[in-house]
Amino acid sequence: MATSTFRNKNKVRPIKSGTAKRARVKAQKKRLEALGFQPGEVANLQSNQLRAFLKRPKLTAKLIAERAAKAAPQA
């Protein structure tokens, strides 16, 4: 059996780059802002927190709406 790089999938796998990760995080931040997060809040989130909010966008939008309702002054 040959042990060349052609046969060894571990050596042929693509390597993740930091540039691509930053682009993904930037796109995810835009998506959260579109859901209703404040830009200042989004800037303070860690990347794993961003992904957690984006896994369930309907629930996230609901939480944002509830929080906005609490923050609104009662007339």
CA distance 44 to 62: 20
- The yes-or-no verdict on residue 62 having pLDDT over 90 is yes
Query: CA nearest 37: which of 19, 23, 20, 49?
Result: 49
Please give the structure tokens belonging to residue 21.
Answer: 């990760």
- The yes-or-no verdict on residue 13 having pLDDT over 90 is no
pLDDT digits (tens, 9 = 90+) for 22-47: 999 999 999 999 999 999 999 999 99
Please give the structure tokens belonging to residue 46.
Answer: 């860690």
CA distance 63 to 31: 15
Domain positions in the chain? 9-71
pLDDT digits (tens, 9 = 90+) for 1-10: 555 666 777 7
**pTM given for the model:** 0.73
Phi, psi (rounded to 5 degrees) for 16: -70, 140
Averaged pLDDT score across all residues of the chain? 87
